[in-house]
Amino acid sequence: MSFYLKTGILFGFLLLISSCKKDPCESTVCFNGGVCNEGFCDCPTGYSGPQCEDFDPCANVTCLNGGTCANGLCNCPEGYSGSDCGVELIPTSVTIINILLNEYPMTTPSGGGWDALAGNGPDVFVTLGPGTTSNLDYHVSGVYNNVTGQSLEFSNGLPVILTGPNSNYNIGVWDEDTLEYQFMGGVVFAPNNYSSGFPPAITLEVNGFSFTLAVIWGFD
């Protein structure tokens, strides 16, 4: 048998084998625009399953600012709205639930002690009220006696709701003396200056005083 004849027989045999090879996609059905590849369905975005039969309505939905998708719609966190939670609302109130006094001066502006006659640390309390001038007409906390510079937490008498978030409020720090109250200092703030992202805590720092306010934002 000649070489050419043998080669022709071999080629024909291989061609016969190739023609008998089963198409892996012959019995595969892909729904919803899916395409079979080597017997498996490649599904378009939003679809899954062996035959692309399952649809996720949130596949093409983007929710901003911490929103979460459910059934194709964005559930927005407090303070945000819109189809994608991209609209930031304006707070109508802010509730102070805790005041932490982190730093405060242990000496008077002249360099002496606050309780110079008694020879011990100041007896500290805080006030919270509207406007730029601290006084004793609104919220007045309890007193920490003979403090040594440690952080002081004030929660008694709280929460206090501030109904004008764009207005100025003040926090004052005082020393309770036997004969009079000494104003140690404080800070003036407008809550809405800190509303971006609606943080659960506001930090205020000025002239040696540092406060952390635990807050809850209110919306109509």
Q: Going from the N-terminus, what domains does the chain have, and what CATH number goes with each?
A: 35-88 (2.10.25.10), 93-218 (2.60.40.150)
What mean pLDDT is reported for the chain?
89
pLDDT, one tens digit per residue, over 103-133 is: 999 998 888 888 866 668 899 999 999 999 9
Tell whether the model's pLDDT for residue 189 goes beyond 80. yes
Res. 1: pLDDT tops 60: no
Q: How many residues comprise the chain?
A: 220
Strands (E) across 38-189 are located at 40-42, 47-48, 54-55, 68-70, 73-75, 80-81, 87-88, 93-103, 124-130, 139-140, 152-154, 160-162, 169-176, 181-189
Give the global pTM.
0.74
